[in-house]
Amino acid sequence: MGDSGKLGIDPPTVDRICQEISRVALSGVQIGIIVGGGNIFRGLSASARGMDRVTADYMGMLATVINALALQDYLERYNIETRVMTAIKMEELAEPFIRRRAISHLQNGRITIFGAGTGNPYFTTDTAAALRAIEIEADAILKATKVDGVYDKDPMKYPDAIKYDSLTYMQVVKQQLKVMDTTAVTLCMENRLPIVVYNLKIPGNLERIVAGEAIGTKVGGEPYD
């Protein structure tokens, strides 16, 4: 939700992302969004600095709800109907997550934004994304990042880092590649849910992936054809 490492919500960045999401939604694609809260508060980092882990994780969940509401506001500026659903009840702001209701929203063309993670401490946004995607029977998880795929090491630090076009779930787990955390990858593997890691900062990438182009890195049982 931010850009260039800044904390908070960066309006131009959010607006650009929402423009692209809205174009994909208007093409008829059903979209569910899981948003993190690291631009506002990182529970794990706070825990490392001495804060109680459970309290820190709940604060992180609340940060994701702030981002979800911001995303909803920007999407609706493009006349896209949205719903925010949260794992922690806060009816004045959003609907509680109910699987059948979420599926109904998607079938009726509403972008559904899932906030507050899984509602439980010690679980990451990655795990929440995998869980919600499985529950709504999504075709794939598209993980938007600041790099153009998965590398064998950090491409920001190592110019000789090698990019993978495709990976199996077990390769990700065994090589401890930073795609998603192990719990999330295992959930995807058990339910044969593909993961596509791509660069959110490149305009048009989301639309190209939806159109079937091999953008970024695909994690699944089979490589790209």
118-127: pLDDT as tens digits: 999 999 999 9
Task: Report the C-alpha gap between 218 and 225 in whole angstroms.
Answer: 11
Q: What pLDDT score was predicted for residue 218?
A: 96
Q: Check residue 1 and give its pLDDT.
A: 56
What mean pLDDT value characterizes the chain? Answer: 91
Counting as low any pLDDT under 70, the low residues of the chain are 1-7, 222-225
What domains, with CATH codes, occur in the chain?
Answer: 1-138 (3.40.1160.10), 141-225 (3.40.1160.10)
C-alpha distances in angstroms, 104 versus 20, 32, 108, 136? Answer: 23, 12, 6, 10
pLDDT reported for residue 223: 45
Model pLDDT, residue 89: 95
pLDDT at 156: 86
The per-residue pLDDT for 2 is 52
